[in-house]
């Protein structure tokens, strides 16, 4: 029997922290031994009432401490905002190096996803460029071998995950001189747990609106990864929207091909890219949020007309777009079956 692996979550109060807790409840190897946030002085059931009468209900939530986390854990999930995550990562890895301990970190923020140049142009000054240089982008279908040997994995953003899984197989076929347009729609949980005017019920209910059009931070993440993974410089224009639903994401990509592809040829490209990937489903019909919500699946549909290419992909923004992808990365880093603890069954009714 495989020995248990001690894991911790720092940033347990938000939606991604909650999803990690729910996933770890059924994980057969990972033993949750440390939970923390910036405030402490609580137990899990007080922060997340839905976990009352589970085995995590009475876990004490501590004030986040890099030293204690490094001492108690072998694997740490960071579900902190950007900037806070790199501060904590730097401290944890510095302490681990000092005492000669090997620690694996999966960071769900944006702090280690981008080059220093792109990060600082879109977020803030980067204070941990040493670890940034060694961080691996955690998109398993494309970086599995690198993730396996990584000490620090940058969990991809939700929009980039859905977009890249659909787009990357077609990068060699896209005319890079033409523009690529991405229309993305997310459930409101993607905006996080904190209150904002856009997420107020009276504003989001029975409504649909774009935000940060052509200026969203995930645009540069998609552009950079199309270049580093797909080896192409694409002219990408990204516009996200908020849907009046709790969770789920639908991304539509419009691009121009070098030469026409038939529908069958386009589907075959997707099939060849993902035929051995258990969590990517190639669909013959347009994809639906309801078919992936509550699961780790990414569903992809493609259509063509002459030189026009349309790709549509759907994921659960909190799971495949955040927490279950982080768990998949942790499984790979620890040499485990990558599907351990991963939800396979969507909860949609149709």
Encode pLDDT of 79-101 as tens digits. Answer: 999 999 999 999 999 999 999 99
Find how far residue 208's CA is from the centre of its chain. 23
Catalytic option among 73, 158, 226, 298:
158
Q: Do residues 160 and 228 touch, judged by C-beta distance below 8 A? A: no
Say yes or no: do domains 5-155+322-334 and 159-315 share a fold.
Answer: no
C-alpha–C-alpha distance, residues 267 and 186, integer Å:
25
DSSP states of 270-339 as a string? HHHHHTT-TTEEE-SS---GGGTTTSS-EEEEEEEETTEEEEEEEE-TTIIIIIHHHHHHHHHHTTS-TT
User: What is the structure's pLDDT at 195?
Assistant: 66
Residues of the chain with pLDDT under 50: none
The string of pLDDT tens digits covering residues 149-187 is 999 999 999 999 999 999 999 999 999 999 999 999 999
C-alpha–C-alpha distance, residues 47 and 201, integer Å:
21
The Cβ of residue 132 has, within 10 Å, a number of other Cβ atoms equal to: 21
User: What is the structure's pLDDT at 343?
Assistant: 84
- The answer to whether residue 124 is catalytic is no
C-alpha–C-alpha distance, residues 327 and 23, integer Å:
8
Q: Which candidate, 93, 87, 131, 99, places its Cα nearest to that of 113?
A: 131
The string of pLDDT tens digits covering residues 274-284 is 999 999 999 99
CATH number of 5-155+322-334: 3.40.50.720
How buried is residue 190: exposed, middle or buried, by Cβ count under 10 Å (0-12/13-18/19+)? buried
Task: Sketch the domain layout of the chain as residue ranges.
Answer: 5-155+322-334, 159-315
pTM, two decimals, is 0.96
Pairing, β 249-256 against β 308-315: antiparallel
User: What is the structure's pLDDT at 33?
Assistant: 98
Residue 315's φ and ψ, nearest 5 degrees, are -145, 170
User: What is the structure's pLDDT at 23?
Assistant: 98
C-alpha–C-alpha distance, residues 324 and 338, integer Å:
10
User: What is the structure's pLDDT at 66?
Assistant: 97
> Buried b / exposed e across 58-80, counting CB within 10 Å, b at 16+?
ebebbebbbebbbeebbbbbbbb
* Homologous superfamily of 159-315: Dihydrodipicolinate Reductase; domain 2 (3.30.360.10)
Q: Do residues 82 and 109 touch, judged by C-beta distance below 8 A? A: yes
């Amino acid at each position: 029997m495989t020995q248990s692996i001690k894991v911790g979550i720092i940033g347990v109060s938000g939606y991604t922290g909650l999803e990690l807790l729910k996933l770890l409840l059924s994980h057969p190897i990972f033993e949750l031994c440390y939970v923390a946030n910036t405030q402490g002085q609580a137990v899990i059931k007080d922060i997340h009432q839905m976990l009352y009468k589970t085995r995590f209900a009475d876990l004490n939530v501590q004030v986040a401490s890099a030293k204690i986390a490094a001492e108690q854990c072998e694997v740490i999930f960071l579900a902190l905002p950007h900037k806070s995550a790199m501060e904590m990562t730097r401290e944890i890895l510095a302490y681990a190096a000092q005492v000669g301990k090997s620690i694996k970190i999966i960071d769900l923020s944006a702090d280690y996803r981008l080059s220093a140049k792109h990060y600082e142009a879109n977020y803030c000054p980067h204070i941990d460029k040493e670890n940034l240089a060694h961080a691996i982008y955690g998109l398993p279908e494309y970086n599995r071998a690198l993730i396996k040997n990584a000490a620090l994995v940058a969990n991809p953003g939700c929009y980039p995950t859905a977009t890249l899984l659909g787009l990357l197989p077609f990068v060699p076929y896209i005319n890079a001189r033409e523009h690529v347009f991405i229309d993305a729609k997310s459930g409101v949980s993607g905006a996080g747990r904190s209150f904002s005017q856009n997420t107020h019920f009276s504003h989001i209910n029975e409504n649909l609106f774009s935000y940060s059009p052509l200026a969203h931070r995930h645009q540069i993440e998609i552009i950079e990864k199309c270049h580093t993974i797909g080896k192409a410089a694409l002219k990408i224009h990204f516009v996200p929207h908020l849907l009046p639903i709790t969770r789920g994401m639908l991304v539509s990509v419009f691009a121009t091909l070098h030469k026409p592809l038939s529908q069958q040829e386009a589907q075959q490209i997707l099939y060849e890219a993902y035929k051995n990937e258990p969590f990517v489903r190639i669909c013959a019909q347009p994809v639906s949020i309801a078919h992936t919500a509550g699961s780790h699946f990414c569903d992809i549909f493609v259509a063509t007309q002459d030189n026009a290419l349309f790709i549509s992909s759907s994921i659960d923004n909190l799971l495949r777009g955040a927490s279950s992808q982080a768990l998949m990365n942790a499984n790979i880093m620890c040499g485990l079956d990558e599907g351990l603890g991963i939800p396979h069954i969507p909860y949609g009714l149709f």
